[in-house]
Amino acid sequence: MIRVTEQESRYNDIDKMSVLEILKGINHEDKSVPSAVENAIPQIEKLASAVSEKMQNGGRLFYIGAGTSGRLGVVDASECPPTFGVPFDYVVGIIAGGDTAIRRAVENAEDDTEQAWIDLQEYHINEKDCLIGLAASGTTPYVVGGLNTARKNGILTGCIVCNEGGPIAQESDFPVEVIVGPEFLTGSTRMKSGTAQKLVLNMLSTTVMIKLGRVKGNKMVDMQLTNHKLVDRGTQMVMDELNIDYDHAADLLNRYGSVRKAVEASHNK
């Protein structure tokens, strides 16, 4: 495989650049990321379709990764319950080194080929579920080992990587390879590679949740009402859907606890 993510930056002497030059260089490189993601849409479609089918039949979605990739998986998983009203164990993000590694790097955690499967066993992962490996390099041993063992146990596997043809893609039933090219800062895959992975995760989880019926029209009707902003947003949704005033909508939302339930209760009267 060609390690594009480790190739030399296209920019020399960046330590001698002005602030403006640095910012323009980073921005110029960032502009290439959406195009790289667009090129991968056929792969993303296959993965999203497969995951949707599994989850419609009672499965869950797991992400595993290390470093930036692992953190991005944790972020995406943690945002699904408040956004779509799903249980907290429905989409699970696991990072090499455990929760400590979310804020502080854990030495050698990503090099253990056995630990990912041990971590997954805490959730009793099984053949109904899906496992997606996240690694810009496409080679992280923690992720390779987890995907390999998952496949042996009949679990659907996928990945989001930024190099082509690596061992993680080879262990994936549905690989997504987003080739963003060398980073502005050589090898710093938290930059373009991380942005690409975040974009694909947004696309994947949002598409899956839509196909699971967690969106009505273009609204997050199952979102958790955890603060004043979201309560106000939910009230506006109920107003628009039922063509009623704000106070009436707020009362319905308070009574039934979600936009979906408030609207359905009113339609069923």
Active site members? 79, 110
In 187-241 the beta strands, taken as DSSP E runs, fall at none
Q: 3-class SS at 43?
A: helix
The neighbour count for residue 227, using CB atoms within 10 Å, is 10
201 torsion bin: left (phi>0), alpha (psi -120 to 50), beta (else): alpha
Residue 135 to residues 123, 139, 186, 231: CA-CA distances in angstroms?
21, 7, 17, 37
Query: What sign does the dihedral 69-10-25-19 (CA atoms) show?
Result: positive
Closest to 149 (Cα-Cα) out of 176, 128, 118, 105: 118
C-beta separation of 200 from 213 below 8 A: no
Angle at 128 between CA 114 and CA 133, to 5 degrees: 40
